[in-house]
Structure 1
Amino acid sequence: MSSGLIDVHAHLLPDFYVQQATTAGHAHPDGMGGWPSWSVEAHLDLMDRNGIETAMLSMSSPGVHFGDDKAARLLARRVNEYAAELTREHPCRFGNFASLPLPDVDGSLEEIAFAFDELGTDGVALLTHTHGVYLGDQRLDPVFAELDRRRAVVFLHPTSPVCWEQSALGRPRPMVEYIFDTARTVTDLVMAGVLTRHQNMQVIVPHCGGAVPVLADRINEFMRLFLPSENSASLDAVQQLRGLYYDMAGTAFPRQVPALLKLVDPDRVLFGSDYCWTPPPLADAHIAAIDAAESPAEGTTWRSLTTANAQRLFPRTAR
């Protein structure tokens, strides 16, 4: 089996996408100064430098839906075909998560079929919400039913919350707004029963779960107080949260991973670099911090532990 890292939180950023997103009004995506540079060569260089065997590529915020369903379908298809071509050209180095044109349910179902059946995608990437439609919204249930039927890996990624104009206080939204929007949509999935209705999906939560680990008991308490008693047989909130996977993208140490391990077992933790939105020097430093940290399982390192966990999710990466 490979000892190289498997990066489940890695982003591609083709020029055609940047051009279309900028035209749609995203010159400063999520309050950042601009778009980072990205190329296949630079990505492979970062991977080689840090011992990353395989990167599962996905699109970050703001996603592919800029307000028009037809345009979103076309952009999702172009992005997914581009990512699939990269995977074919570099089969041992890249995998990919397909983008969906949510909240367009019909378009998303069509793209799921195409991505899995024609392109051989490794899973799908879903933003925490699209135009205010969060993931527990009952309108999205046909999408989750199909992903459940396919036993799909579902990678979540944050975006600016609907209230960012007031809540972000003029600061870049990835700093804290992403963390809370992750907790918001995961809570919505739990409270709406999406995770108990569709237990065949394998869900990856980014950034060590955002604020989820420290809120888990609070969510559980409110779930007991406010959900109808006939739902009491369902898995409680903490049980549901313990069944998800969590990536280590961002500042995993010294505080986020220890908090996460109060909620989940080590076999639920995956490696993520968040490149190219995390600049190369910072990505290098984050990986060095992971390598320097003590593994929670005797006889393992964070590299070997997260790689083994990822290989169970993505069997084709086990070599």
Structure 2
Amino acid sequence: MATPRAPRPATTPTPSSLTRRRALRAAGAGAVAVGAGLTSAPGASADTRRRGEGGPPGAGRIDTHHHALPPAMRQWAIDAGLLPPEGGPDWARWTLRETLEVMDTHHIAAGVASAPVPSVAFRDRAVAKEGVRVCNESLAELVADHPTRFGFFANVAMAHIDLAIEQAAYALDELGADGVIMMTSTGGRYLGDSAFDPLFAELNRRRAVVFVHPQGLPEGGTELPGVSEAIGDFPLDTTRAALNLIATGTLDRHPDLAVILSHAGGFLPYVAGRAVSAGRQGEGPAPDAVRRALRRFYYDTALPLSPYATPTLLAAADPTRILYGTDWPARPAGEVGAITADFDHDPALDPGSRRRINRDNALRLLPRLAARLKRGAAS
């Protein structure tokens, strides 16, 4: 989202919002059961046929770096002063219709939707409670309406760890989230800071998936004319977060946590040799910790990966740890097509690796989504 202005206080939930919440809890309970293999997803294929959204064939891609801004979330962002009532960035005009068109055009079976709200937006506790609720429930509603086309990563308010733990539990247990999204830093502290340990411990207990998304360098950067911060600062932000998780031991202390690094890990695979060398000199994380982490992290292709970075990432990580991602709609329709074509023709990838990255790895990592797609295909 755009750099936020000071958020306004949260509003008290209305009776209609409470009714919607009860409905989402019911939908989430169904998603949990499906993910555990306890029940089928009745009406899933009927839902897509009724809406004319049958989508691509069952072998379509799974987009794990896929953003969404449903109407309720957009209105909250406007009310909180995060977005202007009119205009704003192109991605703020997200629509379901265009999203499904882009997905179908590029054979994307499902997108795991997320909302990378800057952590500063949730610094006020009341705003954090209301904003995270709106974000997560609107994404859960998207999944409930289109169960074979979407999953979602839930927001948590990292500035308020007790609240974040509650929000994660509600999203995972009642809304059926596929994991949580975390911004790289909060209040100037990167994810490996000890303040976040209780949340990581709870997510590790749940064997959860964490999607790490950049938001720019916490101290700000020097603006380069004609060069977006998305080119250099965002990958560096992801790299810092990854190295911080390694150096603090957070990754090793939570072995059952699956961590996805946005944008192919930023610069991490490229600077891994430098990190190992620095560790041997006592100036960085232990070399073995770096090597373990490189093979442990998951990476999406939304750098974009192809054609330049693929050989480096494949030297650092196994193809089973790489996930297809587009960064839609921050990356517009035409660019989604361009980067997908580059990926499809990348000479560094053999057919088996491409198939795993397109779909198989995500289905193994995200069992709730996999179960819904399997039942939808069988109906």
| TM-score (structure 1 length as normaliser) | 0.89
Does residue 268 (structure 1) correspond to residue 321 (structure 2)? The answer is: yes
2:72–2:134 Cα contact (<8 Å) kept: no
Rate the CA distance shift 1:94–1:184 in 2: closer, same or farther, 3 A: same
1:291–1:303 Cα contact (<8 Å) kept: no
Does residue 155 (structure 1) correspond to residue 207 (structure 2)? The answer is: no
Deviations 1:193-245 (A, max 9, x none): 011000100111111111101111222233344389xx97x952121121111
Note the residue ranges of structure 2 that are not aligned, 5 or more in a row: 1-56, 375-379
**Match for residue 270 of structure 2?**
214
How many Å apart are 1:134 and its aligned residue? 0.8
Deviations 1:139-192 (A, max 9, x none): 00000000100000111100011122x334364321211010000010000000
**Match for residue 204 of structure 1?**
260
Q: Which amino acid aligns with 1:214?
A: Y
**For residues 245-284 of structure 1, what are the structure 2 equivalents within 5 Å?**
245-284=298-337
Deviations 1:28-79 (A, max 9, x none): 9xxx956542011211111111100110000124257343122012100111
Note the residue ranges of structure 1 that are not aligned, 5 or more in a row: none
1:8–1:57 Cα contact (<8 Å) kept: yes
Corresponding residue pairs, total: 311
Does residue 90 (structure 1) correspond to residue 146 (structure 2)? The answer is: yes
Does residue 312 (structure 1) correspond to residue 312 (structure 2)? The answer is: no
Distance 1:142 1:250 in 2: 30
**For residues 1-319 of structure 1, what are the structure 2 equivalents within 5 Å?**
2-21=58-77, 26-27=82-83, 35-62=91-118, 65-164=121-220, 166-169=221-224, 171-226=227-282, 235-294=288-347, 296-297=349-350, 299-300=351-352, 302-318=354-370, 319=374
Distance 1:120 1:26 in 2: 27
2:180 match: secondary structure: strand
RMSD between aligned residues? 2.4
Distance 1:177 1:305 in 2: 26
Rate the CA distance shift 1:144–1:42 in 2: closer, same or farther, 3 A: same
Q: Which amino acid aligns with 1:107?
A: L
1:128–1:158 Cα contact (<8 Å) kept: yes
Moved more, 117-126 or 172-181: 172-181
1:294–1:301 Cα contact (<8 Å) kept: no
1:273 match: secondary structure: coil
1:161–1:181 Cα contact (<8 Å) kept: yes
Distance 2:101 2:90 in 1: 22
How many Å apart are 1:80 and its aligned residue? 0.4
1:262 match: secondary structure: helix
Distance 1:213 1:225 in 2: 20
2:181–2:213 Cα contact (<8 Å) kept: yes
How many Å apart are 1:103 and its aligned residue? 1.8
Moved more, 148-157 or 246-255: 246-255
Rate the CA distance shift 1:168–1:129 in 2: closer, same or farther, 3 A: farther
Q: Which amino acid aligns with 2:143?
A: T
How many Å apart are 1:288 and its aligned residue? 1.2
1:136–1:192 Cα contact (<8 Å) kept: yes
How many Å apart are 1:252 and its aligned residue? 1.7
Q: Which amino acid aligns with 1:112?
A: A
2:316 match: secondary structure: coil
| TM-score (structure 2 length as normaliser) | 0.76
Moved more, 190-199 or 238-247: 238-247
How many Å apart are 1:23 and its aligned residue? 5.9
1:124–1:154 Cα contact (<8 Å) kept: yes
Rate the CA distance shift 1:110–1:92 in 2: closer, same or farther, 3 A: same
Give the % identical residues.
37
How many Å apart are 1:21 and its aligned residue? 3.9
Q: Which amino acid aligns with 1:75?
A: G
Q: Which amino acid aligns with 2:339?
A: H
Distance 1:144 1:296 in 2: 34
